[in-house]
Chain A
């Protein structure tokens, strides 16, 4: 594959902090290590510092404290244009006064690549994102998904060891988004490039990433594989932010977390007893809201398959789960 990256690089952030004009820290002592060739996501709610973190890696923002490393090179003080990273902006940031081919060729021209090679690499990059034949269009004449792919081609054609994407799929509709998620993941594997991907969409992060860093208010709450993050959340924030969860308060500020689909409904007399408050049919599953005797509510998801009793609102039920499915959260 002639578009393959020079060779994927690791990325290391060592206690990186940043505050804007002396106010609260947008990014607070963030440390993380991205392995070469890894699909790494920064996930968190709006304003938690994902973009700021990515922009510091790219070099658009200076760090207040901490170091940033790419491979074994400390890039903390290296200016943007010498960092050699591909970047895909949420808004695509395509040059409106240049054609698709000129956009893609830009990074190569800056690197003084010979003309013939530029033409060849631009052609190959556009073929890779299925945009052959669009060379002479202007960005304004493309659909959102096509623009997104030009932005991607422009970033990967320089064969960067590291690709940074800030919510690149945010502006696409649901169907196109899912298709592009698949294509981006595929492309990342083919190129073998290290990819840092910013998103606030937990489903997107779970579906695409090798590992995820969940951020909250400028800090990293947890780093792990999608399964770890989903099945073994460490903090309340992570448990709550990813999917649906039942929290059972424990003395000392601790809590036990159980996913709704891990709970088995049975006859009363189980771990917890309650009454079905409401039932919502979700297609493949039914979501029950169960009121416990002490007034608390629990969510239970039951798969609509095989033999199972018909449940209706007001039924008395017992709730049980395997000990391994209950996760002790840190305070």
Chain B
């Protein structure tokens, strides 16, 4: 860099406190829990999976097993698999963004509700759905979104539509159910971070002439980026690995990698190919996550002084 000579020149009279880059380190800290989750639940199974994906068979029960690239070749030869990967990432991304859009205002409200009762009620409202289990919640959505579900029958009886809307057995239904399931994760992660933002910072911005929108954009939002990042990673990771919900809500329209993997393991007993699919999913989602992290990190740095 240009100022390599600076340390030698400026023997400072004022104490130089340890230099740090708050935006990046704060984000790193907030990502910690999600990262831990990743390590415990992904690294170990991943080791086995990655190994199997480059072998011709399972060395534990077979002999004469050798290294091979056949599973990866198969993935790239058939566009079906690539489309499933794209669908998985698309569902994950849309679910994440929708959870963020729905979850942020809720988290903000929760973090800024100071009355104990109000806070407890909101927390209950957020957590209660988590207690019912994924399958139950998915079935609840099915009764709502089916061709002869609550929504379609109501609209039909009011004469607003002449034939049922296709609300499920497609990506739309899958995403609706996934958002419902994963929004609490987003809210809880965000609430913690937003709650730690000193309200006096917002007041300071207001007293300096910023209206509510400006205050939100200049102060609250940048300071909640660590939470946005952590919450997004959590929801993204959970929704690209979801199996039950896409299976029940997606019908024959939706094919995601976890469903393919399940088929390979459960029906075709092809652990090697299942492993290859898993490795590809993980590699691609890591790339997505790193890119997302970089974009947010740049945003957190803020524009340079006007």
Contact = CB atoms under 8 A, between A and B. Distances in A.
Given A110-B214, A143-B15, A93 B204 contact: yes
Interface in A134-165: 138, 140-143, 146, 154, 158
Interface stretch (A63-71, A82-90, A185-193, A286-294): A82-90
A138 B205 contact: no
B22 interface: yes
Contacts of B198: 91, 93
A146 B16 CA distance: 12
Contacts of B214: 110
A29 interface: no
Interface string B10-27: 000011111110110000
A169 B223 CA distance: 26
A109 B304 CA distance: 12
A94 B211 CA distance: 18
Contacts of B209: 81-82, 84, 107, 110-111, 158
Interface string A38-61: 000000000000000000001110
Nearest to B207: A87
Given A81-B210, A140-B20, A158-B209, A97 B222 contact: yes
A234 to B, nearest CB: 34
A98 B207 contact: no
Contacts of A83: 207
Contact of A106 (B17, B23, B203, B208): B208
Contacts of B200: 89, 91, 93
Contacts of B205: 95, 106
A101 interface: yes
A82 B15 CA distance: 38
B300 A158 contact: no
Contacts of B218: 95, 106
A93 B210 contact: no
Contacts of B300: 97
B7 interface: no
Interface in A93-117: 93-99, 101-102, 105-111, 115
A115 B306 contact: yes
B201 A99 contact: no
Interface residues of B, number: 32
Interface string A190-222: 000000000000000000000000000000000
Nearest to A85: B207
A95 B22 contact: no
Contacts of B20: 138, 140-141
B302 interface: yes
Nearest to A136: B305
A109 B209 CA distance: 9
A97 B223 contact: yes
A141 B16 CA distance: 7
A122 B304 CA distance: 14
Contacts of B23: 97
A180 interface: no
B219 interface: yes
B206 interface: yes
B208 A97 contact: no
Most chain A CB within 10 A, of B208, B214, B301, is at B208
Contacts of A91: 198, 200
A60 B200 CA distance: 10
A80 interface: yes
B208 A158 contact: yes
B241 to A, nearest CB: 33
Interface in A270-328: none
Contact of A138 (B22, B203, B204, B306): B22
A82 B212 CA distance: 12
Contacts of A143: 14-15, 17
Interface in B199-251: 200-201, 203-211, 214, 218-219, 222-223
Nearest to B209: A110
A118 interface: yes
Given A142-B17, A143-B15, 10 more contacts: A79-B211, A80-B206, A91-B198, A93-B198, A96-B22, A97-B23, A97-B302, A102-B305, A115-B306, A138-B20
Closest CB pairs A-B (n = 6)? A107-B208, A110-B209, A93-B204, A93-B200, A80-B206, A87-B207
20 contacts: A60-B206, A81-B210, A89-B204, A93-B204, A94-B204, A95-B218, A95-B219, A97-B22, A102-B305, A106-B205, A107-B208, A107-B209, A110-B208, A118-B306, A140-B20, A141-B19, A142-B17, A143-B15, A146-B14, A158-B209
